[in-house]
Amino acid sequence: MCYEPTARPPLPPIAGGAGPASGTDIVLRATDGTRLAAFSALSSSGTNGPAIVILPDVRGLHDFYRHLATRFAEAGIHATAFDYFGRTAGIGTPEMRGEEFDYRQHVQQTTPETIALDTAAAVAHVRSAEGGGAEAVFTVGFCFGGRNSFNQAARGLGLAGVVGFFGVPQQRGADDTNAPVVVAPSYACPVLGLFGGADHAIARSDIEAFRQALDSAGVPNELVVYDGAPHSFFDRTFAEYRKESEDAWNRMLRFIRDRP
């Protein structure tokens, strides 16, 4: 599991941001008719600003990601986080993705294609007037969502950029054709990757191989490794990684604001 139950997203450095924000639970519909739970937070900065779609870890639409969407909106970026499990667990209620939710069986039933469909529904939402009317749309994901966020760059969504935290870039086996290092040549937008140097699931050599694949394909990229930081370091309860979290925030905000 990516985050502990007590985890909360770090506060963004919001100087010059939009100020206080709040969000609401919504229901989206993918093009195959699936209804999926989501949470949308709108910045008070108005329409046509940038927006970000949040791909959670394996737990789906956990409270961590509702809080994170609100933090993005406070920083002036419309944000929508969505749940992966509408096809197998239904949309349920906000409480149904809590600590008692048996996410493992549902994760096993996701596919790259269904995740892409759900991401597309969230992207369509943030481009709508109701979701912020965004012109520049990004994705960000964490762990399971980090890997999938990277790969949305190859899904024809017209994204301005993709961000991944601790997303495994390497192949997990010879048949792992969805590994970002394999899919990278098909990416159509810039990539920001944020990794912990002490993450036992991702070696520095794996990150370097991903960088080389992106460079070879001519895909603009910034892959950052925080020395000594573990998997899931981006967590307000980890006071010892406050500087790393603040740096990650600043890099994300710069990545978003530097895109046209």
Closest CA to 134 of 53, 190, 220, 74: 53
- Residue 184 CB partners (closer than 8 Å, separation 6+): 210, 213, 214, 217, 219
User: Taking the alpha carbons of 183, 184, 185, 188 in that order, is the dihedral positive or negative?
Assistant: positive
Q: Name the band, by pLDDT with cuts 50, 70 and 90, for residue 5.
A: low
User: Helix (H, G, I), strand (E, B), or coil: what is residue 64?
Assistant: helix
Element (H, E) at 82: strand 78-82
In our burial notation (b when 16+ CB lie closer than 10 A, e otherwise), range 233-250 reads bbbbebeebeebbeebbe
pLDDT reported for residue 12: 60
Q: Where are the domains of the chain?
A: 23-257
- Residue 50 CB partners (closer than 8 Å, separation 6+): 76, 77, 78, 134, 135, 136, 137, 138, 160, 256, 257, 259
- Residue range 12-40: mean pLDDT, rounded: 81
Q: Would the pLDDT of 7 be above 70? A: no
User: Helix (H, G, I), strand (E, B), or coil: what is residue 137?
Assistant: strand
Rounded to two decimals, the pTM is 0.93
With contact defined as beta carbons under 8 Å apart, do 117 and 32 qualify? yes
Look at the block and give the residue holding tokens 């159509």. Answer: 188
CA distance 257 to 31: 30
With contact defined as beta carbons under 8 Å apart, do 163 and 140 qualify? yes
Matching CATH number, 23-257, of 3.40.50.1820, 3.40.190.10, 3.50.50.60, 1.20.1600.10: 3.40.50.1820
Q: What is the biggest distance separating any 2 CA atoms in the chain, rounded to whole angstroms?
A: 47
- Residue range 53-82: mean pLDDT, rounded: 93
Closest CA to 181 of 145, 130, 217, 228: 217
Q: Would the pLDDT of 1 be above 70? A: no
Q: Name residue 124's amino acid.
A: A
pLDDT tens-digit profile of 137-183? 999 999 999 999 999 999 999 999 999 999 999 999 999 999 999 99
User: Taking the alpha carbons of 221, 67, 92, 44 in that order, is the dihedral positive or negative?
Assistant: negative
- Residue range 211-224: mean pLDDT, rounded: 98
Tokens of 49: 């600003």
Q: Would the pLDDT of 129 be above 90? A: yes
Q: Name the band, by pLDDT with cuts 50, 70 and 90, for residue 99.
A: confident
pLDDT reported for residue 16: 44
Look at the block and give the residue holding tokens 């966020």. Answer: 149
- Residue range 52-66: mean pLDDT, rounded: 93
